[in-house]
A and B are shown apart, each in its own frame.
Chain A
Amino acid sequence: MDKLLVSPAPHLHVKTSTRSLMTDVVIALTPAILVSILFYGWSELMVLAVSVASCVLTEWAVTKFLLKRPSTISDMSAVITGLLLAMNLPASIPWWVTVIGGVFSIGVVKMTFGGLGQNVFNPAIAGRIFLLISFPVYMTDWSMTDGFVPVVDAVSGATPLTALKEALLSGSTVSEFFAESGLTVRDMIQDVGASAGEVSSLALLAGFAYLLVRKVVKIWIPLSIFATVAIVSGIFSLANPDLYTGPVFNIFTGGMVLGACFMATDYVTSPMTTAGGIIYGIGIGLITMMIRYFGSYPEGMSFAILIMNCTVPLLNNWFHNKKYGRP
């Protein structure tokens, strides 16, 4: 007889692994990716490929040459960072900007902290903001590339949020903006012109539903973000409908759905407890709305997530699970 294995209990292990969880996230992102390729064509596919390749290669190079440790790319987390980063970029972006974003996301934001599980900030969000600040022109050029089906190009060359900001700055009201642009609720949910990750809220929500069914993530963080955004924008738009947009517009434009469902729910950079997650979500919702209404940037989701990332250690310290037999 061969040697017997001896180890402490338990002797069974669940089939879920880090890799399978990450693969589930990739599967969940697939509908939105397909839709964006449909709308933006080969150039979108190019952005996705370059982003994923630069993220994965950076992680491989850092582990091999700097850390001299076994490679961790097989856990698929770099692939997700690559996909999420690409979904935050315009399809028209030059390839070398995408590469810089990928190298920064993985090389600086993730690996310098010790790799998967150690980073404080969401790598894809930090990468996007890095690019937004460094290359504002490339990052806000939303002119249409050649897609396979025509996209609703309501506000050509700009996202609805940017166009709105410009309209408001030039003195028109919210209702005038909608009348001029012809933007409908259906457009917003299905196919509004923006980055890949913003183009179809419906596809993103379908992917998120898959994650919920597979019990990869819990609903509390996105739910509290959407609820906060709905309440805040509801109050503001009722108070002054000329100046402030309402809940539907705010939830279905910009990176709201992508950010809430796929980036704010990142395991590593979100709180461990449900209570902490709800506070975290409320914070993201509030900050996003404050930036959208009062800030100089049209879109506040990524800044809101980045800011709330900083509070996660505190939230983990303050909130704990209910323990058995303790008050």
Chain B
Amino acid sequence: MNKLSFRIGGVHPADNKFSRERSIETLPLPKTVYVSMAQHLGAPAKPVVAPGDKVKAGQVIAEPGGFISAFVHSPVSGTVKSVSMRNDLAGRPATHVEIAVEGDEWAEGIDLSDTLVSEIRDDRQTILDKIKACGVVGLGGATFPTHVKLNPAPGKKADCLIINGAECEPYLTCDYRIMVERPREIVVGAAIMQKVLGCRCVIGVEENKPEAIAALRSAISELGYRDMEVGVLKMCYPQGGEKQLIDSVLRRQVKSGCLPIDAGAVVQNVATALAVYEAVQKNKPLVSKVMTVTGNCLPADRMHNYRFRIGTPLSFIIEQAGGVPEGAAKIISGGPMMGKAISNLDACTVKGSSSILYLDAESTKRKPAGNCIRCGKCSDACPMGLEPFLLNRLYKAGDIEGLEKNAAQDCIECGCCLYSCPANIPLLDNVRQAKAQALGAIRARAAAAKAAAEATKK
């Protein structure tokens, strides 16, 4: 079969999916969890519990703080100890609800059984309400509230739902494991979202996961879904980037400054599909998910794919997996291309956590930057067709107009430029700043135009 791929750029790091054969294990409960109020894109959630309150697992502990925001649920049963500021994974202060774990009692009405519920009884609005009420957000990394994404603005219509099972980041295997172990739930989750959007569905999986492709295909035929298929994607980073995936599957590109829905596409991660299934069919809020513990300096027997309760401290997970391995120079939350290097191991997992990755110094320590030799490898690698060497230069020259003209604002921060630069120039570090400056200029202009329009109206 024809393998799908995007048309611009891309790089081929070794996939190093060492932990692919490790079945999902349920991580024991820690003594205390700290649940962040800012674990989704958009406004932080507002806590509705106070110290001393008894909570059950799956009970709402925070409400959305705006239109783009999400409910947060208690991942455990126990007593709220405090609601206070704490540094999150990225080292930024955020409000956390601290809960001391007592037993494992779940809130009413949650179906914890493994029985597959494939019949979709709810109507469109009920499905959206349930997804919202269960705090489901995009688990591919951006953590955008799913109910907002599934409810396009009036006049906009999706003609294809793309389920993202590319898992193009090296090392990570958490999506792979759920595709192999729970393909039917994922497929039902996809069908639920299809019902909301009223369109066909393609599940995109990279070619290095044949078992996942087979499992999803047999689940689709078993459940008799006609309008759903698995698309085999070429192994190329960033195949799972939203814009790249749309190009791969639909041969369409999202116009600069527009959303996927403008190109008729909605993209949701496989883990999100599973969370949607659990929310709609099982009434189970998003309080747990799967993460990979892996790395290139970790013995194979200490690699794991864990189902963990969201809010579990990293230090607890690290301890359960046998501690920080010898030779680890960097601990990363997420994949090696876009993940965050962590310095504070007391930070807690969030809805978007997908891994603990240990890399040794040899593979990850940055080398001193040399002169740009204009080899053009960064331009060849950029999946957005940008010229990182040029943006780097314009940024250093402070030419914001030039940055905007050369589309710095389109950067998706995938890391291909820095990855491929033979002179080790910190391209993305500078392009990130450049992007912020270009976006700032665009927003300032839009705000000024709006103000001027309002002034003339009066």
Contact = CB atoms under 8 A, between A and B. Distances in A.
Interface string A308-327: 00000000000011111110
A267 B407 contact: no
Contact of B337 (A11, A16, A322): A11
Nearest to A268: B374
A115 interface: yes
Interface in A1-32: 1-2, 4-14, 16-18, 20-21
Given A14-B420, A323-B407, A9 B338 contact: yes
B264 interface: no
Contact of B336 (A12, A17, A267): A12
Contact of A5 (B341, B418, B419): B341
B147 interface: no
A116 B170 CA distance: 33
Contacts of B253: 324-325
Contacts of A320: 387, 406
A94 interface: no
Given A10-B428, A325-B255, A4 B329 contact: yes
21 contacts: A4-B328, A4-B343, A5-B329, A6-B330, A6-B341, A6-B343, A9-B428, A11-B339, A12-B336, A13-B364, A116-B370, A267-B376, A268-B373, A272-B376, A320-B406, A321-B8, A323-B384, A324-B254, A324-B384, A326-B256, A326-B385
Contact of A267 (B334, B370, B374): B374
6 A-B pairs with the lowest CB-CB distances in the bound complex, closest first: A10-B415, A323-B385, A117-B371, A325-B253, A6-B341, A324-B384
Q: Which of B258, B373, B413, B419 has the most CB of A within 10 A?
A: B373
Contact residues of B: prevailing secondary structure: loop
A156 interface: no
Nearest to A270: B374
Contact of A325 (B256, B379, B429): B256
A265 B440 CA distance: 39
A211 B432 CA distance: 33
B359 A17 contact: no
B198 interface: no
B13 A12 contact: yes
Contacts of B373: 18, 21, 77, 116-117, 267-268
Given A17-B424, A267-B374, A12 B385 contact: no
A118 interface: yes
Interface string B419-431: 1111110001100
Contacts, number: 159
Contacts of B343: 4, 6
Interface in B356-411: 357, 359, 361, 363-367, 370-377, 379, 382-387, 389, 406-407, 410
Nearest to A269: B374
A141 interface: no
B364 A12 contact: yes
Nearest to B371: A117
A5 B365 contact: yes
A12 B16 CA distance: 12
A285 to B, nearest CB: 21
B243 A21 contact: no
A146 interface: no
Given A21-B375, A118-B371, A321 B337 contact: no
A11 B359 contact: yes
B392 to A, nearest CB: 12
Contacts of B423: 17-18, 117
A51 B247 CA distance: 51
A13 B367 contact: yes
Given A14-B11, A321-B385, 11 more contacts: A4-B341, A11-B341, A11-B359, A18-B371, A72-B370, A117-B373, A117-B374, A322-B8, A325-B384, A326-B255, A326-B410
